Amino acid sequence: MKLGLLFLVAVFVSSQANPIANVSHLEFQNYLNEFNIKFETEEEHNLRFSIFQENLKEIELLNKKHAPHTTFGINQFTTLTSEEF
């Protein structure tokens, strides 16, 4: 019982440690709907989801580094790599 409770606490704490980067597939789908983004294949969808997650980590780091003077956020380019942008 105690081990199960400890596990649940650990999962909760780790999920709160980096809330932006822990985006779910549902949140990603909401993003795609908001910007009317569609992908041709499931492979591209999965690739873009990974890129989206990495870009969210970068956004979070930049916001910490430049706060309170600048705010970075999600836009229609968040599924692109830096090379594509």
Residues 8-44 pLDDT 10s: 444 444 444 555 557 789 999 999 999 999 999 999 9
Stated pTM of the model:
0.71
pLDDT of residue 23: 79
- Residues contacting residue 55 through CB under 8 Å, at least 6 positions apart: 78, 79, 80
What distance in Å separates the CA atoms of residue 75 and residue 78, rounded to the nearest whole number?
Answer: 6
Structural domains for the chain: 21-85 (1.10.287.2250)
